[in-house]
């Protein structure tokens, strides 16, 4: 398998990207192709010893920046590492594309260049959601589609379910719909209609889930529109940072507190890792005709390594083909509905 890596995307590119690729390469048989400014990437590669049968570089002269307007960027920067990388998957020169770059551009580029899987109306971004003290779950949509129809939520559930089963290895994943209450008749026009569709599906749909239950690990696949998904992810991040800062403040307030904190140090350290979801890999773009994974913009070498290792099943387990087949189930539910 050939993994295409965007050498220029993210805050720490190409330094941490290249370092992560070298680390991952030591653990896998697959080939890694880093796309970007050849000179810069080779300069980084020169720092390490690696098997040059397994790591190679493809030159791309442009870089899509985080500030670039997504659609415009992928349309105009044709020789950017991102567009070149996506096209390599399209042309069969690669099996998986991973980037820490501009999320909107990655979404737009995947959509324009790879195209949607037939029958999928709205490709989505899946994001691993950390569950404290338990196994993480997948949130779909994590922010790609701020306005959705009920059919879209059904698609998100199906794609998330397949990804969770095939890539994360969670059998018969529990699918929950984010809603105002657990009762069937609760919610907005969108969630009420989506509930009906999900209820007819063959998925392991457990019904409505209140936002309160999400961090408790109520389900394996959290389904919601991209606006709500963004709120859930960002609020979780903000609260976690906030609580950690508050703890730090309280635990350094006076000698007694400092002594107590010292005794608890190993436990507190463990706490931070509970929020670290990089062990589950990056965020998959679901519903396009090729496996594309988004890494966090601030990914360090370790996160890059993990994303590569955990991303491999997205291609090897033929998730794209499985989604493509499952479209028929969705179409049946929607036809019944009409």
Among residues 206 and 240, whose Cβ is nearest to a second copy? Answer: 240
Q: Does 169 bind a second copy (CB under 8 A)?
A: no
- Provide the 8-state DSSP code for 34: E
Within its chain, how far is the Cα of 122 from the centroid?
16
178 in Cβ contact with 138 (< 8 Å): no
Q: Which of 31, 38, 93, 213 binds a second copy (CB under 8 A)?
A: 213
User: Which residue in 28, 240, 327, 334 binds a second copy (CB under 8 A)?
Assistant: 240
Is 27 or 247 the residue whose CB approaches a second copy more closely? Answer: 247
Q: Which residues pair with 286 in a beta bridge?
A: 124
Which residues neighbour 158 within 8 Å (Cβ) at sequence distance 6 or greater?
A: 201, 203, 323, 326, 329, 330
Residue of 231, 279, 297, 324 that binds a second copy (CB under 8 A): 231
Which of 27/246 has CB closer to a second copy? 246
Using alpha carbons only, give the angle 268, 135, 173 rounded to the nearest 5 degrees. 165
Per-position DSSP letters for 38-95, written without gaps between them: HHHHHHHHTTS---TTTEEEEE--B---TTS-HHHHHHH-TTBHHHHHHHHHHTTS-S
Residue 43 is a binding residue for a second copy (CB under 8 A)? no
Q: Is 318 a residue that touches a second copy (CB under 8 A)?
A: no
Given candidates 249, 276, 325, 331, which one binds a second copy under the rule CB under 8 A? Answer: 249
Q: How many CA atoms lie within 13 A of 78 on its CB side?
A: 1
Residues 74-133 that bind a second copy (CB under 8 A): 132-133
Q: How far is the CB of 108 from a second copy (least distance, A)?
A: 15
- What is the footprint of a second copy within residues 147-166 (CB under 8 A)? 147
Which of 27/264 has CB closer to a second copy? 264
Counting Cβ atoms within 10 Å, is residue 253 exposed (0-12), middle (13-18) or buried (19+)?
exposed
According to the 3-state scheme, what is the secondary structure of 240-269? HHHHHHHHHHHHCCCHHHHHHHHHHHHHHH
- Nearer to a second copy by Cβ, of 129 and 314: the residue is 129
Strands 55-59 and 204-209: unpaired
Rounded least distance, CB 188 to a second copy, Å: 4
Q: How near is the Cβ of 193 to a second copy at its closest, in Å?
A: 12
The least CB distance from residue 231 to a second copy, in Å, is: 4
Which residues are CB-contacts of 327 (< 8 A; sequence separation ≥ 6)? 117, 118, 119, 120
State which residue, 34 or 219, has the beta carbon closest to a second copy.
219
* Site for a second copy, rule CB under 8 A: 132-133, 143, 146-147, 178, 180, 187-189, 191, 210-216, 226-228, 230-240, 242-243, 245-247, 249-251, 253, 256-257, 259-264, 267-268, 270-271, 274
């Amino acid at each position: 398998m050939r993994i295409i890596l965007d050498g220029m995307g993210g805050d720490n590119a190409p330094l941490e990207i290249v370092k992560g690729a070298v680390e991952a390469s030591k653990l896998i048989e697959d080939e890694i192709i880093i796309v970007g400014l050849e000179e810069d990437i080779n300069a980084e590669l020169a720092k390490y010893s690696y098997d040059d049968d397994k790591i190679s570089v493809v030159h791309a002269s442009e870089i899509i920046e985080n500030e670039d307007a997504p659609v415009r960027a992928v349309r105009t920067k044709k020789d950017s590492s991102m567009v070149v990388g996506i096209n390599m998957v399209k042309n069969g020169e690669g099996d998986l594309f991973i980037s820490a770059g501009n999320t909107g551009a990655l979404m737009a580029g995947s959509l324009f260049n790879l195209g949607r899987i037939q029958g999928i109306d709205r490709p989505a971004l899946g994001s691993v959601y950390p569950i404290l003290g338990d196994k993480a779950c997948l949130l779909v949509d994590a922010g790609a589609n701020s306005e959705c129809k009920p059919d879209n939520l059904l698609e998100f559930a199906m794609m998330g379910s397949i990804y969770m089963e095939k890539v994360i290895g969670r059998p018969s994943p529990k699918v929950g719909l984010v809603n105002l209450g657990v009762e069937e008749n609760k919610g907005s026009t969108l969630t009420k209609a989506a509930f009906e569709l999900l209820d007819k599906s063959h998925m392991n749909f457990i019904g409505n889930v209140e936002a309160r239950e999400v961090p408790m690990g109520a389900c394996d696949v959290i389904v919601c529109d991209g606006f709500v998904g963004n709120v859930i992810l960002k609020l979780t991040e903000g609260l976690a940072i906030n609580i950690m800062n508050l703890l730090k403040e309280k635990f350094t307030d006076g000698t007694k507190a400092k002594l107590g904190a010292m005794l608890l140090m190993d436990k507190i350290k463990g706490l931070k890792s509970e929020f670290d979801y990089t062990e589950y890999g990056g965020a998959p773009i679901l519903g396009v005709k090729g496996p594309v994974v988004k890494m966090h913009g601030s990914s360090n070498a370790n996160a890059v390594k993990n994303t590569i290792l955990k991303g491999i099943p997205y291609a090897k387990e033929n998730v794209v083909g499985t989604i493509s087949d499952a479209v028929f189930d969705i179409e049946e539910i929607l036809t019944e509905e009409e």
